[in-house]
Amino acid sequence: MRHRVPSDIRRILRLVGLPLVRALMLLAVSALCGLLPPAFLMAWRASSSIRELAAGCALGLLLETALFALFTFHAAAFVERLYRIPMRSAIGFILRALFLPEWKYPVGEVRNGDLTPATRDSVLVRVGGPGALVVHESNLVLLERGGAFARLIGPGLQHLRPFERPALVLDLRPQSRRRQVNAWTRDGLPVRSTLYLSCRLRWQPNEPENEARLIRMAYQLDTGSREKGYGIDWAGELADEARAMLARRLGRLWFDELWSPYMAAMHAPPPAPQLLGEPSADAPTPEPWGIPERPPEDAPIPARWEEIRQEVRRELEQWIRGRQWEVEILHFAFEPPVPWPEVEPMIREAWLEHWRVPWRGWAVHLQSRAMREQVRQRELARAMGQRELLEAIVAVVQQEWPLGDPQRGLQRLLLRLVELMQHWSHPDAELLTPTDLFELVHHLRRMMQRPSSAGGSDAHGSPPPFPTDPGLE
């Protein structure tokens, strides 16, 4: 259990740490060291000579100087071995820490989000103050003391207290990062893109919450390695996270959806091609879908890329809020994702095949529709021909059916019907004449050529000629 130091003791320790008190203590020790030897010498020899008094004072001061040099050398050697700094720098640090804690020397420098090379090797970084640190504009420095955070300082000439040293540096300038993004689409095609990110830190002086978030963010990103400097590459960490988010977002899309320049539903079937001059339906024309008509390198930026950019930016801002980082995104963009050169020829061939298939199906559909229309027109023409034939038969029957002589009227009717049937049996009208009608014509011919009941056939058995009627010609 830790015991609290009484306030009186803390006050005494703070008083002893003042430079004036230390100087007075040094003078008191010097006077004591200078007066004790001569007093002892004079008492031992029982002499009051001024020369012996001066010799005793000189001996005391020499002894004091030797002891001080010895102690200082041993302390500097310890500091040299502990912090691995030159002996000269170690001696200077011991003297400044003892007698000049407010002295603004040595001076370090912070610029462009990091310590200068000369400052990195100085005693200010390896051991700490007292000293001064020149912090240029748009830089923040986190100071540590005894391995723990001490305070946050901003631009200006800042004094370092004893054993305070710069630990981390934050760059307040806008940062720009570029990352190469490699991803696999949903259908297993490798694509690549380039990501561009610009952002900056939000710093509000004299705002404890803002400074606390910046300090927490700096220590979260601190790797402990100082090979690359004391600056925190928070923008690089953010760019790496954005690259991972963009790769995951591209992996949720098919390649055709990624390169479609239109706002179409996912997995929607492509609309049927429309021929030039073909009447459009009353329904609204569906939006274009599928492969762009122009090559990918000449195609306009699809709206889907803008959707992806906005989604990734919102996800990145949400990630920043979850981490409680004081970061503002200024610009986020990425180049059009293109396939790797090894697979690009195969993708183009697949595109062409994908384009050919619906058009081939559409051509077959047009051919079948034309054949159906042709058959329909033929059936319609046959029906019209049959109607005309029936109307002609009715007209012949009405004209050639006399009431006075039924036998003669029947012969005239048969002759007219045979002539009418011979006209409809023409090769041009053969498709329009039903088969039953042809059988009827042949049957009538056989009836007309059959011998009469009076035995009017000749010796060879040939049927009598058709009766002719001059009125029929």
Strand-pair category, 164-171 with 156-160: unpaired
Q: Is the pLDDT of residue 161 over 50?
A: yes
Strand-pair category, 131-135 with 107-111: parallel
Residue closest to 414 by CA, chosen among 355, 466, 351, 339? 466
By CB atoms closer than 10 A (0-12, 13-18, 19+), residue 17 is exposed
Lowest average pLDDT, out of 212-221, 328-337, 432-441, goes to 432-441
Residue 347, pLDDT score: 74
Instruction: Report residue 355's pLDDT band, with 50, 70 and 90 as the boundaries.
Output: low
- Work out the angle at residue 205's Cα, subtended by the Cα atoms of residues 168 and 162, and round it to the nearest 5 degrees: 45
Q: Where is pLDDT greater, at 385 or 70? A: 70
Question: pLDDT tens digits, residue range 18-64?
Answer: 666 666 776 676 666 656 666 555 555 555 666 666 666 676 677 77
Q: Where is pLDDT greater, at 65 or 280? A: 65
Q: Where is pLDDT greater, at 165 or 263? A: 165
Residue 460, pLDDT score: 43
| Beta strand ranges found along 128-174 (DSSP E) | 131-135, 139-145, 148-153, 156-160, 164-171
Interval 424-439 mean pLDDT: 60
Instruction: Tell me what percent of the residues of the chain surpass a pLDDT of 70.
Output: 59
Question: pLDDT tens digits, residue range 265-274?
Answer: 444 444 454 4
Residue 88, pLDDT score: 87
Question: pLDDT tens digits, residue range 103-118?
Answer: 777 889 999 999 998 8
Residue 419, pLDDT score: 67
Residue 402, pLDDT score: 56
Q: Is the pLDDT of residue 461 over 60?
A: no
Tell me the pTM: 0.57
Q: Give the contacts of 143 (CB within 8 A, at least 6 positions apart).
A: 149, 150, 151, 152, 153, 160, 164, 165, 166, 167
Residue 360, pLDDT score: 74
Q: Is the pLDDT of residue 298 over 70?
A: no
Domains and CATH numbers, the chain: 7-89 (no CATH), 102-173 (no CATH), 176-268+291-342 (3.30.479.30), 375-452+463-472 (no CATH)
Residue closest to 390 by CA, chosen among 415, 414, 417? 417
Place of tokens 């200024």: 330
Interval 356-361 mean pLDDT: 73
Q: Where is pLDDT greater, at 426 or 271? A: 426
What mean pLDDT, rounded, does the chain reach? 75
Place of tokens 């009469």: 452
Highest mean pLDDT among 13-27, 237-251, 295-309: 237-251
Highest mean pLDDT among 102-106, 246-250, 334-338: 246-250
CA gap 420, 89 in Å, rounded: 134
Q: Is the pLDDT of residue 319 over 80?
A: yes
Q: Is the pLDDT of residue 255 over 50?
A: yes
Interval 287-310 mean pLDDT: 58
Interval 138-163 mean pLDDT: 91
Interval 319-325 mean pLDDT: 93
Lowest average pLDDT, out of 165-179, 196-210, 298-312, 438-452, goes to 438-452
